[in-house]
A = this chain, B = another copy of it.
């Protein structure tokens, strides 16, 4: 049987009350006694039964998720995943509230962070915007001992506890590597389409992409970066212009959102030299385009995994407990037409793995 607090008490020759004081770092224990208890814990290999402890504490974890608002399939899918997690709240002892703020607006984000701080939750998850003010706001949360996890887009230089997102430099490098090899001998310039250089994930993808392109595939000229603000209409217009002005274009790397616009522009073009297109985030639009051959590769991050990971990490940080590091690494999914996972619910404008509650029992596809 697994040792309990009673066993510690017996092993250390102290009472249960003293063991409790040591375990929960309460005052009123002499150093010698404390050490004796700690040695006993070590010796008999006691580990606290978190389930029982949470039961006794009737602990709940109030978490705040701060996400960008706006018509962005990926972000809305992320929000859907957070709401799916909310529906599991009872079982997971969480109490999650979602706050949306205007996209690419550091000031609004700072306000939201400070508002969250006022509620002193057990943890905050935030899609960060890279700005000194935001860093300061995150550090204020940390100063109040509130765990913070950045989601999707990281915030270097801040004291955030953890980043739940993909390695975006690697994503950019991978895109370049695939682009270069898919183009094979073909020549022609390559365009890069971003949302905004304000968010770190976009900047990092761009850096990785440019690094590998210039180093390994110098034959392809990189056109000036197009900033589409993740807005489908704006993206469609800008991409249309580039396609018109550079008919010999060989590839497009879309590292942000608003791919509906990109796809529309590609469809309108038709004919001409084939263009190798690599985009981010699997939504129903990019999935369809991949199947139609309009897009060659989709790089994806799994929103559901990111949300669940963020919650696990926030819980662990709140409890001061270790996490399984490898489990929390968010992977970069590379999707070709050939390894697309089965489509879930269509109809809604959400990415992969809409929160589903019953197991679908479809064997390998699950």
Binding site for B on A (CB under 8 A): 2, 47, 49-52, 54-55, 88, 90-91, 154, 156, 162-163, 165, 167-168, 170-171, 173-174, 176-178, 181-182, 184-185, 208, 212, 302, 304-305, 308, 322-329, 331-334, 336-341, 344, 352-353, 355-360, 363-366
Contact = CB atoms under 8 A, between A and B. Distances in A.
B325 A359 contact: yes
A111 to B, nearest CB: 26
B359 A322 contact: yes
Query: Which of A55, A156, A334, A340 has the most B CB atoms < 10 Å from its CB?
Result: A334
A304 B331 contact: no
Given A2-B90, A366-B329, A357 B51 contact: no
Contacts of A324: 88, 304, 308, 355-357
A179 B344 CA distance: 29
Given A2-B90, A154-B364, A365-B167, A353 B337 contact: no
Given A170-B338, A176-B338, A90 B51 contact: no
A156 B365 CA distance: 13
Given A304-B324, A326-B352, 10 more contacts: A49-B55, A51-B52, A51-B55, A163-B364, A167-B341, A177-B336, A177-B338, A322-B358, A325-B356, A331-B333
The winner among A51, A340, A352 for most chain B CB atoms within 10 A is: A51
A167 B329 contact: no
Contacts of A305: 327
Nearest to A164: B366
A274 B103 CA distance: 47
A196 to B, nearest CB: 20
B167 A339 contact: yes
Contacts of A332: 339
23 contacts: A2-B90, A47-B90, A51-B51, A156-B363, A167-B339, A170-B340, A174-B338, A174-B339, A177-B337, A178-B336, A182-B182, A208-B338, A302-B331, A304-B324, A305-B327, A322-B359, A324-B357, A325-B353, A325-B359, A326-B352, A326-B355, A329-B366, A332-B339
A50 B156 CA distance: 39
Contacts of A162: 363, 366
Contacts of A365: 167, 329
A366 B366 CA distance: 26
A364 B332 CA distance: 12
B338 A173 contact: yes
Contact of A336 (B91, B174, B327): B174
A163 to B, nearest CB: 5
A228 B198 CA distance: 52
Contacts of A334: 334, 339
A115 B295 CA distance: 51
Nearest to A85: B324
A182 B184 CA distance: 7
Contacts of A328: 359, 366
B329 A341 contact: yes
Nearest to A356: B325
Contacts of A176: 338
A358 B316 CA distance: 12
A57 to B, nearest CB: 12
Nearest to A48: B91
Contact of A304 (B168, B326, B337): B326
